[in-house]
Amino acid sequence: MERFYKKSTADFYTLIFLLLLSISTIILDYKYNQITYIRFVINDLIIYPINKVSSLPKTFINELITESSDIKNLELELKILEKENIYLKIKLQELNSLRSENIRLRKISKASNITSKKQTIVKVISNTASPNKRVVSIDKGEKYGVYIGQNVIGVDGLVGQVIETAFVSSKVILITESTHTIPAVVDRTGDNILVTGHTDDGKLIVPYAEMGVDIIVGDVISTSGVANRFKAKIPIGIVVKKTSNRDKEFSDIEIKPFEKIGQMSELILIWDYKPKDKVNE
Amino acid sequence: MNNFIVITLSLLLSIALTITTFPLGYFAPDWIHLFLIYWILATPGSIGLFTAWMVGILVDVVLGSTLGVNALVYSLIAYLILKSYMAIRYLTVLQQGILVLLLLLVKSTLILWIDGMMGISNYTTSLYWTPLVSALAWPLVYYFLRNLRRKYNLT
């Protein structure tokens, strides 16, 4: 009986100890961001290998599909790409002249927007890295110098920002996540607005847009650089719908992002921009 | 030693299952917790509160929640089961499923409560779907792990 009693109380004290330990880790992680290296170690040693192994069947099937796709299809694709390449080269010439003109103009206005010099293309390991958030994981981490808050773009526009780094992988939150907001600007008017994700996939909204705000369908929205979180002038999307309902206080503005966010296999990291203030998750 | 290897491997498998069922969102069963509950019930001698806590920390990293939230609820539920595994073992699988549902409902409530206290909306009330789906998946996990246990003669 006494032995049983002793074991019982020992268990109870273990529980109390563990509960206190949990509470202190919660406080350390939430308030001070102190123990991220634990996350770091577990991510690299356990989660990353499991992720790799569990995505093996998927990659295998994908490879099979690519291999079995017709040679004719590939030839057709090649032709299309060649055409596109010529077109883009012509465009590039125009852009080059425009760029030099732009630089000249900027020197006059003393603005300090520089185009990115260094970019890194990263592969997306999994498009759903969280059960409840739009987060993707990518295959580059601190080993390559990836940092929290780094801007992630696609070929056409903004995709998201890095929120968590490990040694060989990182997590990127997408701009379509409904709890994520970007300071943005309307290119036509220069008005500063906020752009938030939405629970519907592939849709962004402008919260708190007054009834009289000067935004029309077809306006291009890009980042404003306010709050030093995103680099300025990265294109985000185009306004596709605006409804002003008199019963509501704000107008509903819907933006379609330029990128097919959430279905991408490759992303681009840009390096010349670092958020100035410390990013807390 | 045998115990340790089989249990560890099965827990790793449950993590892989969790990662692959991420696209289901809240409708994915809570694999890791189901596996852990089974092992506590079957081999309370080799799995204790510390193991439960460490698995909880692992879950926090997998799900990207604040470190310690899941560790707290995992150790709490592990304690409840450790104190009553004798009684739970005599229940049928169906009755155990209902018990799992209740335990996971408590867990969801605690997680939402802690989340609300910190003011970060990591989870929404749709989290309550997870216990239901998990309870439905319980017989599957139960028979799978029982076969595993008998095959490797774990005690």
Q: What is the pLDDT of residues A212-224, one digit of tens each?
A: 788 888 888 888 8
Rounded to whole angstroms, the Cα distance separating A130 from A136 reads: 8
Give DSSP secondary structure letters for A173-200: EETTSTT-EEEEEETTT--EEEEEE-SS
In a domain, A50, yes or no: yes
The residue of chain A with its CA nearest to that of B114 is A26
Nearest one of A165, A163, A158, A148 to A183, comparing CA atoms: A158
CB < 8 Å to B28, chain A? 131
Tell me, yes or no, whether A207 and A268 share the same domain: yes
Tell me, yes or no, whether A142 and A258 share the same domain: yes
By CB atoms closer than 10 A (0-12, 13-18, 19+), residue A80 is exposed
Nearest one of B74, B87, B104, B85 to A15, comparing CA atoms: B74
pLDDT of the residue at A112: 47
Rounded to whole angstroms, the Cα distance separating A90 from A76 reads: 22
The residue of chain B with its CA nearest to that of A16 is B76
User: Does A46 contact B12 at a Cβ distance shorter than 8 Å?
Assistant: yes
How many angstroms separate the CA of residue A51 from the nearest CA in chain B? 7
Tell me, yes or no, whether A46 and A143 share the same domain: no
Q: Retrieve residue A250's tokens.
A: 């704000």
Q: Which residues of chain A have pLDDT under 50?
A: 111-112, 114, 279-281
Task: For chain A, say whether B31 makes contact (Cβ under 8 Å).
Answer: no
Structural domain span for residue A166: 118-275
Tell me, yes or no, whether A132 and A105 share the same domain: no
User: Does B26 contact A131 at a Cβ distance shorter than 8 Å?
Assistant: yes
In a domain, A281, yes or no: no
Tell me, yes or no, whether A42 and A99 share the same domain: no
pLDDT one digit per residue (tens) for chain B, 155 residues: 678 888 889 999 998 888 888 878 788 899 999 999 999 998 888 888 999 999 999 998 888 888 889 999 999 999 999 988 888 988 999 999 999 999 999 999 998 898 888 877 667 778 888 999 999 999 999 999 999 888 888 77
CB < 8 Å to A126, chain B? 19, 22
How many angstroms separate the CA of residue B123 from the nearest CA in chain A? 7
Neighbouring C-beta atoms of residue A52, cutoff 10 Å: 14
**R_g over Cα of chain B:** 15
Secondary structure of A54-94 in HEC code, one letter for each residue: HCHHHHHHHHHHHHHCCHHHHHHHHHHHHHHHHHHHHHHHH
Task: For chain A, say whether B54 makes contact (Cβ under 8 Å).
Answer: no
Tell me, yes or no, whether A166 and A234 share the same domain: yes
CB < 8 Å to A35, chain B? 67
Tell me, yes or no, whether A139 and A256 share the same domain: yes
The residue of chain B with its CA nearest to that of A14 is B49
Tell me, yes or no, whether A126 and A256 share the same domain: yes
In a domain, A79, yes or no: yes
Each residue of A223-251: b (16+ CB within 10 Å) or e? bbbeeebbbbebbbbbbeebeeeeeeeeb
Q: How close are the terminal C-alpha atoms of chain A, in Å?
A: 51
Query: Strands A204-205 and A252-257, how do they pair?
Result: antiparallel
User: Does B79 contact A25 at a Cβ distance shorter than 8 Å?
Assistant: no
User: Does B76 contact A15 at a Cβ distance shorter than 8 Å?
Assistant: yes
Q: Retrieve residue A78's tokens.
A: 């090649």
Q: Could you give the angle at which helices B49-63 and B31-42 cross, rounded to 10 degrees?
A: 170
Tell me, yes or no, whether A143 and A271 share the same domain: yes
The residue ranges of every structural domain in chain B are 2-152
CB < 8 Å to A15, chain B? 49, 75-76, 79
In a domain, A280, yes or no: no
Tell me, yes or no, whether A102 and A195 share the same domain: no
Q: Retrieve residue A48's tokens.
A: 């990353």
How many angstroms separate the CA of residue B75 from the nearest CA in chain A? 7
In a domain, A9, yes or no: yes
In a domain, A147, yes or no: yes
Domain count, chain A: 3
What region does A280 belong to: left with phi over 0, alpha with psi -120 to 50, or beta?
beta
Tell me, yes or no, whether A42 and A134 share the same domain: no
How many angstroms separate the CA of residue B93 from the nearest CA in chain A? 27
Residue A215 maps to which CATH number? 2.40.10.340
The residue of chain B with its CA nearest to that of A171 is B64
Contact A199/A178 with Cβ under 8 angstroms?
yes
Contact A226/A184 with Cβ under 8 angstroms?
no
CB < 8 Å to B124, chain A? 132
Task: For chain A, say whether B45 makes contact (Cβ under 8 Å).
Answer: no
pLDDT of the residue at A281: 43
Task: For chain B, say whether A24 makes contact (Cβ under 8 Å).
Answer: yes
Task: For chain B, say whether A158 makes contact (Cβ under 8 Å).
Answer: no
Contact B112/B127 with Cβ under 8 angstroms?
yes
Three-class SS state of A240: strand
Contact A170/A250 with Cβ under 8 angstroms?
no
pLDDT in tens, A175-199: 888 888 899 988 888 888 889 988 8
In a domain, A30, yes or no: yes
Task: For chain A, say whether B121 makes contact (Cβ under 8 Å).
Answer: yes
A48-to-A54, A164, B74 alpha-carbon distances in Å? 10, 13, 23
